[in-house]
Structure 1
Amino acid sequence: MRILVITVGSRGDVQPYVALGKGLQSAGHDVTLATCARFRSFVTDQGLAYGQLSDDILQLLDSAAGRAAMEDTTGVLGAVRTNIRLARQANPINRRLLADAWATARQAKPDLVVYHPKVLAGPHIAEKLGVPVVLALPVPVSVPTGDFPLVGLPELPLGRWYNRLTYRLAGAGYRMYDGMVNTFRRDTLGLAKTSGAALTTRLPDGRPIPVLHGISEHVLPRPADWPGHAHLTGYWFLDDAARWQPPAGLVDFIEAGDPPVYVGFGSMAGRDPHRLTRLVGEALRRAGVRGIVATGWGGLAETEPSDTIWHLTQAPHDWLFPRMSAVVHHGGAGTTAAALRAGKPSVICPFLLDQFVWGRQVFALGVGSAPIPQRKLTPQRLATAIRTVTTNADIRAAALKLGRSLAAEDGVANAVARIDTLLRPAG
C-alpha cells in the first residue's frame, strides 16, 4: 500500500515520523514522507521517498520575532499573545502548506494519509482521495481528558472539568484558520464547507479519526476517559548508533574520566544563546562534573574548548546518552524519551508548551530533578539539580528501571500494527 506521512516543524516534529515511516516501509508499504525542505536529506538518507513542503514556518520560528513570541507561551495569556503575534505571518505560510501538501498527495497517490496536527490539509486530502486517515503525534494535545489540561495551559486545582475545558480552547485557537481551510476545500479540492475545518476530528461519515500517540504508557499512563480511537503505542525511536562513526576525540573525552553530563537544548535558546552557554559552563564547574555541550541546533553557542567540556555538533542520542551520567535538556518529547530509554536521570529546563509537561512528569516519576523553567535558570540552580541527579541513588535506580521498560517496548511496531488494521479489508 502507498502511505503518505505529512509533518511540519522542527526536527522534533520530523524524526519520530521518519522512524514511523521506516517501520511502515519495513512492513512492506511504499512510504512518502512530506515535510519542510530543510529535512529533505534527512528523509532520503533514511531510505524514504521525500515530498516537499515549504520551509517558511521554520524561517518564521527562527526569526527574532518568532523566538520572542515563543518565549511567551506559558499560561493562557502567553499562549494568546503568541497566537496574536504570529497569526498574521502564519496565514500565508499555512496557505502555502495547504497547496504543497495537496501537490505532494497528487504525486504520491496514497492509500492512507498519516498526518501531524500542524498539517491542516491532512484529513481534507484523505477525504478528497477517499482513503483512510490517521492523526499521529508525539504530544497528547488532540484528545480531551480530565486527567490533565491541554499542553501549554496551567495545571490548576479546579478538578477534571477544568482540564477538559482547556481542550476547547485549542479548538478556539484553530478557528482563525477555518475560513482558509474551507477556501482550500472549495477552490482546490472541490469539497463542501465544513464546521471546524482547521481542527477536524471526525471522518465524513461521522466516525472519529483514529489517533496514534508516539508515547509510552510507562511515562504517561493512558487516561481512563480516552475513547477507543485514541492509542498510546510507545515511542517512535529512530536508532542511528550503528550507522554513526563517533569522532575519536569525543570517544577519548568520554573515556578520560567519570561519565560526563550531557547538556543540550536543541534549537531552544531564546534570544541569547551565548548567555545561556556561559550559564551552563558555570553550572558544570560548580557541580564539579565534566560536560558534553551540544551546539549543533543553535540552542547553545560554541566557546573555547577546555579539559572539562566537549562541544558537540551532533550525535545520535541512542549512541550518546547511554554513555552519560545524566542528561540536561529542554524537555522536547523526543529528547525526553531518548534520555529515559537510556536509563539516565534528567534535568529538564523547559522553554515552552509540552516541555513543561515532560518536566513535571519526569519529576513525578522520580527519574529526574524538579524542572527548572529557563526563565528561572541560574548557574547555582542548575548546578544543584545536576548534583542531585548524579548522586541520588533512588533517582538513578528509578531511571535505570524505567529505561529497561522502555527498551523492551517497540512503539513503531505497535503503531504499524494499528495502521495495518485500517488498511485491512473489512470482513
Structure 2
Amino acid sequence: MRIQLITVGTMGSVAPYTGLGHRLADEGHEVEIVTHAKFAEVVGCCGLRMRPLAADPFEALIGAHSRLQGAQGSPDAPGALRALWSLRSATGLATLGLVDGILDAVDPTADLILLSTLAAPIGAQVAEYHRIPSIGVFLQPEVPTREFAPCATAWRPPGRANLLRGRAANVLLDSFYGAARRRLHTRLGLTHRSGHRLRSARERNRWPIWHGYSPSVVPRPADWRPGLHVAGYWWPHECPNWQPPALVADFLTAGPPPVLIGFGSMMPGDPRRLGEIAARALRQAGLRGIVQSGSVGLSVVDDDVITVGALPHGWLMPRTAAVVHHAGAGTTAAALRAGVPAVPVPVMTDQPWWAARLVQLGVSPQVLPCTELTAGRLAEALGRATGDAGFARRSGALAARLADEDGSGAVARAVAELAG
C-alpha cells in the first residue's frame, strides 16, 4: 500500500512515527511521512520519504504558551490577559496554517492516510474528500471515558464526571479549528460543517484510532467503543550509524550514572534561571548531570555537569540515574522504556496529565510544575528519585513489560488486514 503518515508539532510528535513508519516499510508498504521541514534529517535517517509541510505554525504556539506561563501569578493582570489572548490567537493561526499545508501535501493516489491527533481534524476531511481510507494514530487518549479525565486536564479518579470533562475538552479542541474548517470547506467547495458534527460522524462510523502508548501505562477503558485500540508504544527509529560524541561517552565512564535534565522543544522559563536552578539542585543533591540545551538554549557550566545538544533518548536515558523532563508523551515513553526514575516538570497541554500518571505508577516521587520549580524542590525530588531504591525497582519492572510489547507490529497487522 501507498501510505502517507501526517503529523505536526514538536520532535516528540514526530519521532515515534519514524519507528512506526519504518515498521510499515519493512512490511512492504511504500511509506511517506508528511511533517515540518525541520525534521527532514530525522525522517530521512530511517530511510523513509518525507513531504514537508509548507510551514511550522506550532513554534508560535509554543512561544505564546511560554509567555502565558511567565505571566501567570504576576501582579500585572493586563500582561497576563495579553499573554492569554496571544495563546488563543497563536492556536487559531497554528490550525489555520495546517489547511493549505495538508491540502497541498496529501497524495490523491495514496491507499491509506495515518493521522496524528493534531493533524486529524483537517486530515480526516481531506482524506474523505479524496475517498482515501484514514486511521487515527494518536499518542494521547482523546475519546471521553469514565475511567480518567481528558489529558488536557488534571488526572482525576474514575467517575461519570470524567465523561463530561472529556466532552468539554473536545468542544474546546474543536473550537480551535473553527477558522481552519471554514478555510478547508471553502477550498474544497464543501458545505460548512461544525467540529461537533464532524466528530460525531467519525464516532458513528467507528473511525479507527490506534493509540501509541502501553496498556501497562494507561489501560484501554472498558467503556470505549469498538475501533479504539491501545497498541503499545511506537519507539523512534534509531539510525544504525550513529555514534555518541566523545565528550558524552567519556563523561559517562568517568563516574556514577548522571541525571539527565532536558525540556526538549518546551520553553519552561528563562534559560539562565533554569540553568542556575539545575546547577544548584545537582550540587545540593550531590549528583552529576547531563543537561540538554533543547529549544530554550539551556546551558549549565559546573563541576560534574556537561551541556549537550540533541542525543537519542534510546541510547542516553538507560545510562542515567534519573531523568528530569517536561513529561511530553514521547519523552515520558522514552524514560519509561529506559527503566529509570523520572522527575516530571510539566509545562503545557497533556504534560501535567502524564506527569501525574508517572507518580501513580510509582516511577516518580512527585510532580514539579514549571511555575513552581526551585533548586531546593528539584534537589529534594532528585534525592528521593535516586536515593529510594523502590523507584528504580518499579521503573525497571515496568520497562521489562514494555519490552515485551510490539506497538508498531499491532498497527502493521491492522494495516495488513485493511489491505486484504
Length-normalised TM-score, structure 1: 0.89
Q: Once the two structures are superposed, what CA deviation does each residue of 1:156-204 show, in whole Å capped at 9, x if it has no partner?
A: 57x6221111122233224435653553454332434334269635349
Q: Which residue of 2 aligns with 1:210?
A: 208
Give the aligned residue type for 2:279.
Answer: G
8 Å Cα contact 2:324/2:344 also seen in 1: yes
Superposed, which structure 2 residues align to 1:337-348 within 5 Å?
Answer: 337-348=333-344
Cα deviation 1:365-413 (Å, max 9, x = unaligned) = 1112111111121111111111111121222111111111112212111
Q: CA deviation at 1:303?
A: 3.5
Count of aligned residue pairs for this structure pair: 412
Query: Conserved in 2, the CA contact under 8 Å of 1:259 and 1:325?
Result: yes
Counterparts in 2 of 1:222-301, with a 5 A limit? Answer: 222-240=220-238, 242-295=240-293, 297-299=294-296, 301=298
Question: Structure 1 pair 16/407, CA: closer, same or farther in 2 (3 Å)?
Answer: same
CA contact (8 A) 2:325 2:343 kept: yes
Is contact 1:138-1:215 (8 Å) kept? yes
Partner residue in 1 for 2:118: 118
Structure 2 letter corresponding to 1:136: V
Write out aligned runs for 1:117-156 (5 A).
117-119=117-119, 120-140=121-141, 142-155=142-155
**2:326 is the alignment partner of 1:330:** yes
Q: CA deviation at 1:261?
A: 1.1
Q: Deviations over 1:2-25 (max 9, x none)?
A: 111111111111111222111111
State the TM-score, normalizing by the size of structure 2: 0.90
What amino acid does structure 2 have at the position aligned with 1:88?
Answer: S
1:77 is matched with none
Matching residue of 2:77: none
Give SS of 1:243's match: coil
Shift of 1:90: 4.0
Secondary structure of 2:106's aligned partner: helix
Tell me, which stretches of 5 or more residues in structure 2 are unaligned? 74-80
Separation in structure 1 between the aligned mates of residue 320 and residue 17 of structure 2, nearest angstrom: 26
The 5 Å alignment of 1:40-189 reads 40-63=40-63, 65-69=64-68, 84-106=85-107, 109-119=109-119, 120-140=121-141, 142-155=142-155, 160-176=159-175, 179-189=178-188
Matches for 1:365-384 after TM superposition, within 5 Å? 365-384=361-380
* Per-residue Cα deviation, 1:75-133 (whole angstroms, up to 9, x for no partner): xxxxx998753343444443332122111114x62111111231232111111121211
- Match of 2:172, SS state, is helix
Give the deviation of 1:270 after TM superposition: 2.8
| Structure 1 CA distance for aligned equivalents of residues 202 and 344 of structure 2 | 38
Distance 1:185 1:39 in 2: 25
Query: Structure 1 residues 253-262 or 185-194, which shifts more?
Result: 185-194
Query: 2:78: which partner in 1?
Result: none
Can you give the 5+ residue segments of structure 1 that lack an aligned partner in the other structure? 75-79
Aligned partners of 1:199, 1:327: CA distance in 2, in Å? 40
Shift of 1:331: 0.8
- 2:300: which partner in 1? 303
RMSD: 2.5
Query: Does the CA contact (< 8 Å) of 1:326 and 1:389 recur in 2?
Result: yes
